Structure 1
Amino acid sequence: IDIILILVAMSAVAPPQDVKFKSINLRNIVEWSPGPGTPKGTWYAVEYAIYGEEDKAAPGQEVWKGVKACKKLRKTWCDLSTETSDLEEKYYARVRAVGKNGSSEWNHTDRFDPFLDTTFGPPVVNIVVKERQMFINLTGPMRWSNKESNEPMAEYYPGSLMLYNLSVHNKRTGQTVGISLQIPTLLLQDFNTLYCVSASVYFSSLPIITQVSLKQCVTTGKGK
């Protein structure tokens, strides 16, 4: 009997590791790493559950739902943006590996709150130079969508004020100035000056993680 149990254990597929949500602009992806010794040809199945939703037939148990696009995955991530789109809910996901000799145990994520756990991507920074004037306009960030139309992330946080944090480096003086903006437009005026600009957003009342845009550098006109 002991020999049979050992053989069964050796043939089982190792469960996925580091199963977690990664979310930017409410594109909510579950990702994981293969377990140790995972053989080639292994695929993965993903399910999700809504926190607090119980199985009526088994009180105290979550209602796990399959994801049609993630039932037989070769890759190590699954997009659950649609399934986790309600910002008033919290979610779990679980993943298991499936191989020729059977399935692994499920491995679960921590509880995921899309409203607070998503990362705000950087705003789009648009710079226009007209002679000595440099106009800076900031847009977004926008909620991720697989459609052409998308909406500003700020619209989903109506009770909190989103501000822009603009960093402007003046190459001539060597000074870097941080500017907080509620209106996403700024005008700078100086002849023949190289400015380097980057931006992010922040909320004073919410613990939201944000990303900073890539630095853009432009030079104002030399004048007459």
Structure 2
Amino acid sequence: MTPKHCFLGFLFSFLLTGVAEIRPAYKSLKPQRVHFQSRNFHNILHWQPGGACASNSSIYFVQYKMYGERQWKNKENCWGIQEFFCDLTNETSDIWEPYYGRVRTTLAGMHSGWTMTQRFTPWWETKIDPPTMNITQVNGSLVVILHAPKLPYRDGKGKTVSMENYYELVYRLFIINNSLEKEQKVYEGARRVVEIEALTPHRSYCVVAEIYQPMLDRRSQRSEERCVEIP
């Protein structure tokens, strides 16, 4: 449906309701499913168009606030946009505090009401990525160095900050013997340097890792397999 036909269809359905007065908000224009998606504390607000139509002429406006604040704040970079998402990472950087976001839309001079998220607390709700791995062969063994994901923020010295600063992280390391097509967990713990010994020469092995968060009883997705052949 073209933007012109979309607007005419909306106007026709609006007139059929018998509402004579002009109101600033129309339910059929209100954005739907407004929610945060968070990964490694990259906190992105997402939404879907209202039920009237998904028109390319629809313009969206985003506000946010911390729980307990009375005044909403405009997100300047997301004020009058056509995308269905808005990056609120910097605006929600106090990761233990709860926040709200909300979105409204404008179409052909008509304004919807605001649609608000549920309460969002980054520390509780962010999903973390699997660890990255560096693998080195040493005398028939594999030395695996694990790295936790980084936050999008930096400390007072300008250095990147690890997830280990904010969570208890348990690393799980698995090895797959490609000849036997058999997987085995070879390590679970907090150490980030792990040596895998007693490997059969001239065999190919793949290593995969994940992170477990005991306090939240949550685990990351698994990393991509890293495969090596023992000489």
Q: TM-score range by the shorter chain?
A: 0.7 to 0.9
- C-alpha separation between the residues in 2 aligned to 1:32 and 1:192? 52
Q: Is the 8 A contact 1:91 1:113 kept in 2?
A: yes
1:167 and 2:174 aligned: yes
The runs of at least 4 consecutive aligned structure 1 residues that moved more than 4 Å come to: 1-4, 6-9, 145-149
Compared CA separation, residues 44 and 2, structure 1 to 2 (3 A):
closer
Counterpart AA for 1:41:
S
Counterpart AA for 2:91:
E
Compared CA separation, residues 87 and 73, structure 1 to 2 (3 A):
same
TM-score when normalising by structure 1? 0.83
What residue number does 1:58 align with? none
Q: Is the 8 A contact 1:42 1:98 kept in 2?
A: yes
Q: CA RMSD in A?
A: 2.6
Cα deviations by residue, 1:145-188 (Å, 9 ceiling, x for unpaired): 4999421011123xxx3110112111233321122031112222
Q: Secondary structure at the match of 2:55?
A: coil
What residue number does 1:77 align with? 85
1:193 and 2:203 aligned: yes
Higher relative contact order (CA 8 A, sep 6+): 1
- C-alpha separation between the residues in 2 aligned to 1:76 and 1:141? 27
- C-alpha separation between the residues in 1 aligned to 2:180 and 2:219? 31
1:47 to 49, 54, 63: 63
1:5 and 2:14 aligned: no
Q: Percent identity?
A: 30
Q: For this pair of structures, how many residues does the alignment match?
A: 209
Compared CA separation, residues 171 and 153, structure 1 to 2 (3 A):
same
Q: Secondary structure at the match of 2:170?
A: strand
What residue number does 1:59 align with? none
Counterpart AA for 1:33:
Q
Cα deviations by residue, 1:61-97 (Å, 9 ceiling, x for unpaired): xx21111111111111111111111123101100111
Cα deviations by residue, 1:191-221 (Å, 9 ceiling, x for unpaired): 1121122111112222445232112222111
Q: Is the 8 A contact 2:171 2:211 kept in 1?
A: yes
- C-alpha separation between the residues in 1 aligned to 2:78 and 2:34? 14
TM-score when normalising by structure 2? 0.80
Q: Is the 8 A contact 1:30 1:80 kept in 2?
A: yes
Counterpart AA for 1:26:
F
Consecutive unaligned residues in structure 1, runs of 5 or more: 56-62
Consecutive unaligned residues in structure 2, runs of 5 or more: 1-14
